[in-house]
A and B are shown apart, each in its own frame.
Chain A
Amino acid sequence: MPLSTQSQTGGDNYVLVASLDNVRNLSNILKAITFKDHAIFNATPNGLKVTVEDSKCLQANAFIQAEIFQEFTIREDSVGFQVNLTVLLDCLTIFGGSTVPGVATALRMCYNGYGYPLTLFLEEGGVVTVCKINTQEPEEPIDFEFCSTNVTNKVILQSESLKEAFSELDMTSEVLQITMSPSQPYFRLSTFGNSGNAHYDYPKDSDMMELFQCTKTQTNRYKMSLLKPSTKALALSCKVSVRTDCRGFLSLQYLVRNDDGQICFVEYYCCPDEEVEED
């Protein structure tokens, strides 16, 4: 790594330093949650968590564990800041997005703490780019209070089949209705659009279904516009877990494998649409 000395950042004052040999391991995941401009970054010794929220109804989180990074040093228990995600992504992909085998862009991300900009060093083929992005006071991410004990229904599916369904979803429908039930239809996605309604049923014994734990029949509706960004995460993932809790809140967890085969998680929480019909 040619980026061993950075006098500009005031070397010793960093509170967070993270390095990646392949910046795509970070940028790809971040692309999956980019639906709003601003993201809240929270780094702990475990790794990096990036949160994006929309209208207090939708929250997306990306988790990149410390092990993914080639170097991950943190001097405090928790480091948080907020940056413009679009700008960050532009910088991360400054050398272009295409993958040429053998050539990777390396990243070194440094943060000196409250009030300092986030400094990025990107290197490809001997060319180094330095980016400084202003940070903001981090907002507190909403706690959706979604805990495992309240989960009524849980399903883990292979992403393949969901990808197909989501790509065909009727976008004229304002809501996506998700029905999970221990009896027929086990897992159903429904749309109600201009031309009529459509249902996608996944039986519990399908080979696409890796786990099926439904205790109660639940039907919930979620605004299509809120869930649409999750399709980006779905596209990257290989497995999805869909959970609903007793209040009808939806949790989608995507297991993403990055270029090097390592696993990261992306999570979406969505609150149900006003009128909730119970079966």
Chain B
Amino acid sequence: MLAKAIHSLSRIGDELYLEPQEDGLALRSVNSSRSAYACFLFSPLFFSRYTIPLGHAFRCKMAIKCVQAVFRSLSSLEKTVEKCHIELDGETSRLTFTLHCKHGLLKTHNLSFQDSESLQAVFDKESCANMLRAQPRLLVDTVLHFPPSLEEVSVSVSGERVWFRNHVDDEAEQSKAMLTELCLSSDEFDHFAVGAQTSITFCLKELRGLLVFAESTGLPVSMYFDEPGSPVVLSVTDSVLEVNFVLATLSDDSNLCNHNNNTKRARSPPPPDDFMTDDIDSYLIAMETSELAGPSDALAPRSPSSNHTLTTQPSAAMRSLERGEEEEEDTEDTERPPNKKFRSLFFGSVCPSDSQLTNQTIKSQEVLASDSEDDTQASLP
């Protein structure tokens, strides 16, 4: 199962963040544009033996391809591996995977890792207005109808039904576009709780990663979401494992622009600014990253404003990641005191509109974010 988790994470991002915690081993990954985050939390019960060094919290990250290579062939793993021993050696900076296989074969992989910041997306499943839970088979079959090349999928819910359709780029040739729509009724789901009619659009590729994992384990997948622009949380849980995939969603009526707007820097929290009180009614995911002795800043700081095309493309939705103040009205639980962290926020700008089912309309959008970003940019060391 560990191998499947790693393969699943590899679909999200290029790096695997490993953090042994008291409540289990957390494996996380985030994609380059920070629009998708996944976390696999294996409780200590999953392991036959789980010991973590007391006190000193440890985090590391490594290229996910390397770890994948250790668990390369899933089918042969199941047949041949009897025991897997994972050991972290701080002095030599090596993470050792020892696989005890059939016929006495011992495979030892010593992988080097980098110290990293803690990667944690803060989100609150409970406060989401809508929640669906289904057997993975249902979702897999649904997704099967869409071509593998499809980037984004739109999910619309009403009181009784769910629609899945492919999201067509405005820029794409209308004549060549093929729209596929699939409708599922509420009784196909294990749990169907819809607060309000909404429609969200998110990236399918990352979802597939989760579905592959869920299907192989047979565990039901839960989907928590709110309005467009606010992230969708897909979750698979059982007694020894908790998996959360957090994907950003498109705001209403625009194209997807993936911007890598991650600006990670040290020190002081950004000063309060006004943008939160503007008409953004979208939910925010706060990505908390606290800086440790992390020489490896894998994601280079980039000025968000340079990536904004919003001002020039009125129809483009912007999903940007930036530093900002923690929204007071958010109910997320934060794990560390605010004055030690800086965070990158993850949100979509949304026009306060109720036209939530039209994905095609072109509207001009208020560029709410860029101003504030400029502010925060300027004020930071």
Contact = CB atoms under 8 A, between A and B. Distances in A.
Chains A and B bind each other: yes
Interface of A: 161, 164-165, 167-168, 170, 185, 194-203, 205-208
Contacts of A203: 104-106
Given A164-B80, A168-B72, A170-B69, A208 B103 contact: yes
A198 B105 contact: no
Contacts of B111: 195-196
Interface string B28-72: 000000000000000000000000000000000011011001101
8 contacts: A164-B76, A164-B80, A195-B62, A195-B112, A198-B109, A199-B109, A206-B104, A207-B103
Interface string B83-106: 000000000001100000001111
A207 B108 CA distance: 20
B132 to A, nearest CB: 39
Nearest to A169: B69
B107 interface: yes
8 tightest Cβ-Cβ pairs between the two chains A and B? A195-B66, A206-B104, A196-B111, A201-B106, A199-B108, A203-B104, A198-B109, A208-B103
B96 to A, nearest CB: 9
B110 interface: yes
A170 B66 CA distance: 9
Contacts of B76: 164
A202 B101 CA distance: 10
Contacts of A206: 103-105
B110 A196 contact: yes
B105 A202 contact: yes
Interface of B: 62-63, 65-66, 69-70, 72-73, 76, 80, 94-95, 103-112
Contact of A196 (B104, B105, B107, B112): B112
A173 B110 CA distance: 13
A228 to B, nearest CB: 17
B69 A201 contact: no
Contacts of B66: 194-196
Nearest to B69: A170
A86 B76 CA distance: 34
Contact of A201 (B63, B80, B105, B112): B105
Given A165-B105, A202-B104, 19 more contacts: A164-B76, A168-B107, A195-B65, A195-B66, A195-B69, A196-B95, A196-B111, A196-B112, A197-B110, A198-B109, A198-B110, A199-B106, A199-B108, A199-B110, A200-B107, A202-B105, A206-B104, A206-B105, A207-B104
A201 B109 contact: no
Nearest to A187: B105
A45 B76 CA distance: 44
Contacts of A165: 105, 107
Contacts of A197: 109-110
Given A164-B80, A195-B63, A205 B112 contact: no
A175 B105 CA distance: 21
B116 to A, nearest CB: 15
Contacts of B63: 195
Contact of A161 (B69, B72, B105, B112): B105
Nearest to B76: A164
Nearest to A162: B105
A209 to B, nearest CB: 8
